[in-house]
Amino acid sequence: MTRRLYTFTISHFAEKARWALDYKGADYVEERLVPGSHVPIVRRMAPGTSVPVLRDGDRVVQGSSAIIDHADQQWPELALTPSDASGRETALELERWLDRELGEAIRCVFYFHALEHRGLVLYFFNQGGPWWGRLLSRLGYRVMASSIRQMYAITRDNAARDEERMHAVFERVDELLSGRSYLVGDRFSRADLTLAALAAPLWRPEQHPTRWPPDEMYPPEVIALGARFANTRTHEHVMRLYREQRLRGCSAALKAGPGMQAPSTRGAGRSSAPPGRPAAPAGSRRAAPRRPGARSRRRRWPGRPG
């Protein structure tokens, strides 16, 4: 049975799960949903309504951390969880802390500014998903925006408080990264992956599968937010992880699609393979451009476990 990962393109928690599966070279199909109309689809298979959800044979795994656990069980060779007890505990503690303090904070601040900009939000929400979901998000934008505000308690006060929470996270992460290449031990782990995936919307790395809108579409406050933290070690670390650990072939292909922003070709030809694994041969992930809204179909890397 085909392995399916249910996501929203822009969801940074979904990006955690997607990156983990890509890192393992897993064979799966990404089912991109549209926020709002995702509820009946997700409810049919999982206890909660949130994405990411992975359907793998008879198993349904909901939540980015549970999906990383599952990926590590299925493909132990490229472990994202450190094998020693203390490294494992540190990585899991950092992941939980980043999910809460960074993932939730960025979402609140981002939506506080972005929800006023219908074109921008729809640009993100309509990258994939069923046609009827995209239509509903256009027709019911005001209702959807107000339920997002309610669901995540998005208010001016909370956004201001959460921007300071982000600041505190970057200060601690900067300290942790002092003189080190990774957050835990001397190799890439789920702590690094979580940090990079959750912080990505701030700095919009080109290897990310989302088609980032042009800067002019963003409210200046969102651009300023990225700039405020651009001189941190964390920023440098996140951008390096996307360059070195995220699969270029996959993200470039996912970005392709008529009428959408062209994928960046900067740096094309550079290997995006993590250290110790082969670079993906050209076209080995997905060669043909996709229609916006089409499912993203992934192929297994030659020689990778499936």
Ligand X SMILES: N[C@@H](CCC(=O)N[C@@H](CS)C(=O)NCC(=O)O)C(=O)O
CB 29 within 8 Å of CB 18: no
When the beta carbons of 48 and 220 are compared against ligand X, the nearer one is 48
User: How are beta strands 53-56 and 4-7 bridged, if at all?
Assistant: antiparallel
Rounded least distance, CB 150 to ligand X, Å: 12
Q: Burial level of 293, CB count in 10 A (0-12/13-18/19+)?
A: middle
Tell me if 70 sits within 8 A of 165, measured CB to CB: no
User: Closer CB to ligand X, residue 7 or residue 207?
Assistant: 7
* Nearest CB to ligand X, comparing residues 39 and 227: 39
Pure H helices in the chain: 12-24, 38-43, 64-74, 85-98, 104-114, 118-125, 131-139, 141-151, 156-176, 190-203, 220-228, 233-245, 248-255
Tokens of 143: 């209702």
Residue with Cβ nearer ligand X (25 or 63): 63
Looking at the DSSP bridge assignments, the partners of residue 107 are none
Between 16 and 298, name the residue whose CB sits nearer to ligand X. Answer: 16
Select 54 or 253, whichever has its Cβ closest to ligand X.
54
Site of interaction with ligand X (CB under 6 A): 8, 11, 13, 49-52, 63-65, 99
CB 33 within 8 A of CB 56: no
Rounded to the nearest whole angstrom, what is the least distance from the CB of residue 12 to ligand X in the complex? 6
Q: How far is the CB of 221 from ligand X (least distance, A)?
A: 20
Burial class (CB in 10 A: 0-12, 13-18, 19+), 243: middle
Instruction: In angstroms, give the least distance from the CB of 113 to ligand X.
Output: 16
CB of 276 to ligand X, least distance (A): 27
The least CB distance from residue 49 to ligand X, in Å, is: 3
Q: How many other CB atoms are found less than 10 A from the CB of residue 104?
A: 18
Distance CA 155, CA 111 (A): 10
Q: Which is nearer to ligand X, 210 or 284 (by Cβ)?
A: 210
The β-bridge partners of 60 are: 55
Q: How far is the CB of 69 from ligand X (least distance, A)?
A: 11
d(CA 11, CA 107): 9
